[in-house]
Amino acid sequence: MSRSAPLGAPGEARGVLSSKPFRRLWAALSLSSLGDWLGLLTLLALAAALTADADPMTRAYAVAGAAAVKLAPPVLLSPLAGLLADRFDRRLTMVVADAVRALLYLSVPLAGRLDWLLIAGFLAEIAALAWGPAKDAALTGLVPKRRLDQATRLGVLTSYGTAPVAGAVFAVLASLSWLVGALLPGGGERADAFLTPQTDAALYAAAVAYLAAALTAWALPKPRRSAAETPPTAAPAGPAAVPGAAAENERTTPLATGAQSSDNEATAQLQTTEAADDAAAGNERTAPLATGARSSDNERTEQFAPAPQGTEAASAQPSAQRPEPAQPAEERYRPENLLRTLWQGGRFAGTTPLVRGLLAGMVSVFPAVAAVAGVARLHVASLGAGNAGFGVLFAAVFAGMGLGMLAGPRILHNLSRPRLFAVSMAAAAVALLAAGLIPNMVMAAVLVTLAGCAAGAAWITGITLIHQELEEDIRTRTLGYLNAVARAELLVAVVAAPLLAAVIGDYTLGYGDLSYGFLGTGAVLLIAGVLVLPASLITYRRVDRGGEVALSRELLAALRGVPLPTTDVQQEERRLPGTFIVLEGGEGAGKSTQAGRLSVWLRDEGFEVVTTREPGSTKLGMRLRALLLDREDTEMSARAEALLYAADRAEHVSSVILPALRRGAIVISDRYVDSTLAYQGAGRELVRDDIERVNEWATEELVPHLTVLLDIPPDQGLSRLGGTTDRMEAESEEFHTRVRQSFRELAERDPSRYLVIDAREPAEELTREIQRRLRPLLPDPVPKDAEAITGMMPTIKE
Ligand SMILES: Nc1ncnc2c1ncn2[C@@H]1O[C@H](COP(=O)(O)OP(=O)(O)OP(=O)(O)O)[C@@H](O)[C@H]1O
Ligand SMILES: Cc1cn([C@H]2C[C@H](O)[C@@H](COP(=O)(O)O)O2)c(=O)[nH]c1=O
């Protein structure tokens, strides 16, 4: 399995959204997710509002009850989801489920009663149980197989990305309703009493979102069943619903649908032309978001032949318009058992100390952040803020998580992943501790964002490490297990948090004139922080690979964006007697000319010199060079190209460069890693971090002592070359301009390791400049007889 791609990277999103039917489905998913999050917010807020005059314990029960009706059904009743999904037309199921939810949410403000609030919330979740599998089946049919992964990731991103949007919408609507209430005659005194209308506006908004989702789903292509069914195929089963694990090919919708989506492994196809192409090519479709243990229990199959809409074939199948018949008993969906997943998962999950540490860390961070959502409504009330504050806090925690997942590993990319994981956990703990101790709304919003950020970074790093550490089979099970645990924890944490806050209660601590309000809700955040902090230390001990640079030094270096410091022992181990010089630059800059001139000079000085180049200085490299520069090969993907250059380099370093450096030789290489960063990074617009990582590995982290950049405008360099152009030289002017710019930026980043010279100068002048810079780097000359060895270096030229 590849490293998890950035969720919903713009290019990725554009690609998959180019299909109109999928765009519709995505719009329906977005609207429905927005309705879900708004529903959760309003249920929690309304439960608090309707019990505003009751004692704190009753209020806490009301809020916990609202959380339970929203979160428990997906966990406890998920088997129902698959049963419903098996019986009805998917598109219709989506439409009806959305419409039912809209009506239920509309009824809540009309009834204005706590008991109906809880019943309506529960019924809405039952409807959501049917919606999730129907949506998943629709997704499988609308998106060609090669794009399923991308579509799934976009779906996951959308499901979670709508949470902060819902928080913001809720905050705005609550503020507007408050303002309207305050402006009404006598509203000034009654502003506080407008708690219920404030949430009512958000309930109407949720209903509108669901109705819009229903209409959008209605416009999806209709499913058709073919006379010639393809034979059943097995789809993997398992739980889904946590953000990172979802990247492992899972479908996820927030809260309500988290569980059900794990359950339904339908492979129904709603037709699109593209999907039809895939199916015609004999491709199997499996449920897009399934991970977890491959369980024969959960395997079900179902394929609908992709006859294009409106064709004769389609119209000749009147049965196509009817609801799909029930599946034969043996093919029907069989429910997932959460407890069984937890039990079975627990037996294999901790295969190595690192994975045990990761799992322990992840299962401790997740409920801590979930507790924030559970306690948020009561906490903002204690801080003197209203529903708008609740919306802000809710948006803050989810926006923080999203930000942490996207930016955390990038910002601290120099920190080793296991350390990043433990440090992020500790940061989340400290932010929660501070949020619990500081009874101030603004600080609460800031600290909760930080806690979300750190938790997001920890979560995505944990998922990445699990990917790296485990073989596919065990990894899938581990992620499935993690998912199941996270779902159970989410339910317990969100429900327990308000109750715990009420049990602890609020206190005012006084000392002289000073007083400090200690809040029960703050205590919950504090406890969450207190539990995660030691967990982060234990995790650090388990996951840290030892023998590394002190954490503080590594962390500081990572924050400053400079390369990692190495220990003295490591430096000693890595100190090679030789000197490694690299010549870089665009086409025709004069690299080989300078390499030749320098080697003559250095040999005269008595050094053993190895002049070499990339690509193509080994037997393998010669073949790779031929492939890479062949003008006929225009189809090569950018990633394949980057990997082939890295493969050439790996062979080059291990069989030519390192042996020479170990012998004490001076190695002059015409091109090295910077060429890939410039040509494939800037030229082909691949992600630089990815190229750096691959090349660090390929080169065993061997960095040149000096890189000479021969800088020249591309047109002038290219005009120096005679004969036919190769595949790279034939690239566009813009491409070569980006390459040149990138070389210059690389040199600017680390001036102590670069010499940049104007390659338009005469060759002799350039040689002199390089000599001046090189002299201080050279070791004492070696005995004359070393030259014989130089001549035997295995540098293979074409
Ligand atoms: N400083 C210079 N001024 C003018 N011409 C030069 C200079 N250096 C090299 N040349 C000429 O430019 C051409 C290309 O030089 P060279 O092969 O050294 O460049 P290169 O950077 O290695 O090219 P490539 O990108 O193909 O590897 C040769 O004909 C060479 O004689
Ligand atoms: C190492 C390396 C090279 N390239 C490109 C740059 C040139 O166009 C050719 C090599 O040809 P040369 O005449 O030997 O300079 O390959 C690249 O794109 N990426 C790399 O890593």
Is a pLDDT exceeding 50 seen at residue 296?
Answer: no
Of all ligands present, the nearest one to the C-alpha of 762 is 1
What distance in Å separates the CA atoms of residue 139 and residue 268, rounded to the nearest whole number?
9
Whether 107 contacts 122, CB under 8 Å: no
Is a pLDDT exceeding 50 seen at residue 301?
Answer: no
584 within ligand 1 shell (Cβ under 6 A):
no
Tokens of 21: 């039917």
Give me the percent of the chain exceeding a pLDDT of 90. 41
Tokens of 333: 């969906």
Is a pLDDT exceeding 80 seen at residue 647?
Answer: yes
What distance in Å separates the CA atoms of residue 282 and residue 317, rounded to the nearest whole number?
22
- Residue 16's pLDDT band, with cuts at 50, 70 and 90, is low
Q: Which residue has the tokens 């249920």?
A: 43
Whether 427 contacts 450, CB under 8 Å: yes
- Residue 499's pLDDT band, with cuts at 50, 70 and 90, is very high
Closest C-alpha residue for ligand 2 atom 18: 679
Peptide bond into 713 cis (omega under 30): no
- Residue 266's pLDDT band, with cuts at 50, 70 and 90, is very low
Find the radius of gyration of the CA atoms of the chain: 31
Q: What is the mean pLDDT of residues 285-292?
A: 27
The DSSP bridge pattern shows strands 514-518 and 754-758 to be: unpaired
- Residue 99's pLDDT band, with cuts at 50, 70 and 90, is very high
**DSSP H or E segment with residue 691:** helix 688-698
Closest C-alpha residue for ligand 2 atom 4: 675
The top-scoring range by mean pLDDT among 346-360, 576-590, 622-636 is: 576-590
Q: Of 139-153, 200-214, 481-495, 608-622, which gets the smallest average pLDDT?
A: 139-153
| 632 labeled part of a ligand binding site | no
Helices 638-652, 619-629: axis angle to 10 degrees equals: 160
The DSSP bridge pattern shows strands 507-511 and 514-518 to be: antiparallel
- Give this prediction's pTM: 0.58
- The reply to whether 347-564 shares the fold of 1-222+233-241 is yes
Per-residue model confidence (pLDDT) at position 445: 95
Q: What is the mean pLDDT of residues 105-113?
A: 86
Backbone torsions φ then ψ of 263, nearest 5 degrees: -95, -35
Closest C-alpha residue for ligand 1 atom 1: 763
**Residue of higher predicted confidence among 768 and 467:** 768
743 within ligand 2 shell (Cβ under 6 A):
no
Q: Of 195-204, 735-744, 758-767, 777-786, which gets the smallest average pLDDT?
A: 777-786
Is a pLDDT exceeding 50 seen at residue 745?
Answer: yes
Per-residue model confidence (pLDDT) at position 261: 36
Whether 528 contacts 371, CB under 8 Å: yes
Mutate to test the pocket of ligand 2, among 629, 675, 676, 796 (most ligand atoms within 8 A of CB): 675
Is a pLDDT exceeding 90 seen at residue 671?
Answer: yes
- Residue 508's pLDDT band, with cuts at 50, 70 and 90, is confident
What distance in Å separates the CA atoms of residue 788 and residue 793, rounded to the nearest whole number?
9
| 35 labeled part of a ligand binding site | no
Tokens of 572: 């000693």
What distance in Å separates the CA atoms of residue 478 and residue 187, rounded to the nearest whole number?
56
- Residue 553's pLDDT band, with cuts at 50, 70 and 90, is confident
For the structural domain made of 568-790, what CATH number should be given?
3.40.50.300
Q: Put residue 384 in one of left, alpha, beta given phi > 0 → left and psi -120 to 50 → alpha.
A: left
| Mean pLDDT over the full length of the chain | 76
Closest C-alpha residue for ligand 2 atom 6: 728
Q: How far is the CA of 675 from the centre of ligand 2 (A)?
A: 7
Q: Cα 540 vs. chain centroid, distance in angstroms?
A: 22
Q: Which CATH architecture has domain 1-222+233-241?
A: Up-down Bundle (1.20)
Is a pLDDT exceeding 90 seen at residue 588?
Answer: yes
Is a pLDDT exceeding 60 seen at residue 7?
Answer: no
DSSP state letter for 546 = S
**Residue of higher predicted confidence among 292 and 429:** 429
729 within ligand 2 shell (Cβ under 6 A):
yes
Farthest CA pair distance, the chain: 102
For the structural domain made of 347-564, what CATH number should be given?
1.20.1250.20
The residues, ordered by sequence, that sit 6+ positions from 283 with a Cβ below 8 Å of its Cβ are: 145
Tokens of 692: 């750096």
The residues, ordered by sequence, that sit 6+ positions from 265 with a Cβ below 8 Å of its Cβ are: 235, 236, 237, 286, 287, 290, 298, 299, 300, 333
Q: Of 266-280, 395-409, 756-770, which gets the smallest average pLDDT?
A: 266-280
Per-residue model confidence (pLDDT) at position 788: 36
| Residue extents of the structural domains in the chain | 1-222+233-241, 347-564, 568-790
Q: How far is the CA of 749 from the centre of ligand 1 (A)?
A: 26
Q: 571 in helix, strand or coil?
A: helix
What distance in Å separates the CA atoms of residue 444 and residue 436, rounded to the nearest whole number?
8
Q: How far is the CA of 614 from the centre of ligand 2 (A)?
A: 7
Of all ligands present, the nearest one to the C-alpha of 643 is 2
Residues 122-145 have pLDDT tens digits of: 999 888 888 887 887 777 777 776
The DSSP bridge pattern shows strands 579-585 and 666-670 to be: parallel
Ligand 2 atom with the shortest distance to the CA of 683:
18
ipTM: 0.99
Q: What is the mean pLDDT of residues 64-68?
A: 92
Per-residue model confidence (pLDDT) at position 589: 97
Tokens of 697: 């590995």
Tokens of 114: 């706590």
